[in-house]
Amino acid sequence: MAAAPVEAAPTVATLHIDSDVAGAQVFVDRNFIGTAPATAPDVKPGAHVINVTAPGFEGVSTTIDVEAGSRDVTVKLREVRLNLTAQVVHKHRMGSCTGRLIATPQGLRYETTDKEDAFTTSLLDLDTFEVDYLEKNLRIKPTKGKRYDFTDPQGNADRLFVFHRDVDKARQRLKKGDPPATE
């Protein structure tokens, strides 16, 4: 009696890609695969870039290491992602101190050697969060705190503007109820 044939181990991968937004467009290595949920067959092992986009959401790009076999991947477009840092100068009534603003979906913090000025607050607990492009100033006032006037160390208002724009976009999404990413 002949031995049953042994099935060969797979040499390529099959990726099953889904999203928390129905109909999101899925790309693997810049090649359109379809709308979520989508399947990418015959993917060679190694590093591959998955991009998922949908109208009204920021696209997500992630690099994954693929091994032979089947793999499920879920991309969450509804999660608020934010990881920004800005070097700043805090202008005092007399003098100033330097530090950095760090923004994540979990909050905004100012790190400085002047411990009296350092703060941490939720992105939703800001009474004032505005940029004055002409004055090259980012004004922040936490709900339970003092007002801060920040400038860029090189006097570059563009960096403050971009920081403000991206943080404010995340704040609006959090207010709308989109969950913060935990990564």
| Spatial distance between the Cα atoms of 159 and 166, rounded to a whole number of angstroms | 11
106, 86, 70: which is closest to 150 by C-alpha?
86
| Boundaries of every domain in the chain | 13-75, 84-176
Burial of 19 (0-12, 13-18, 19+ CB in 10 A): buried
Topology of the domain comprising 84-176: PH-domain like (2.30.29)
181, 176, 165: which is closest to 129 by C-alpha?
165
Do 13-75 and 84-176 agree at the fold level? Answer: no
Phi, psi dihedral angles at 108 (to 5 degrees): -120, 135
* Tens digits of residue pLDDT in 32-75: 999 999 999 999 999 999 999 999 888 999 999 999 999 999 99
* Tens digits of residue pLDDT in 117-152: 899 999 999 999 999 988 899 999 999 889 999 999
Topology of the domain comprising 13-75: Immunoglobulin-like (2.60.40)
Torsion from C-alpha of 111, 112, 117, 122, nearest 10 degrees: 0
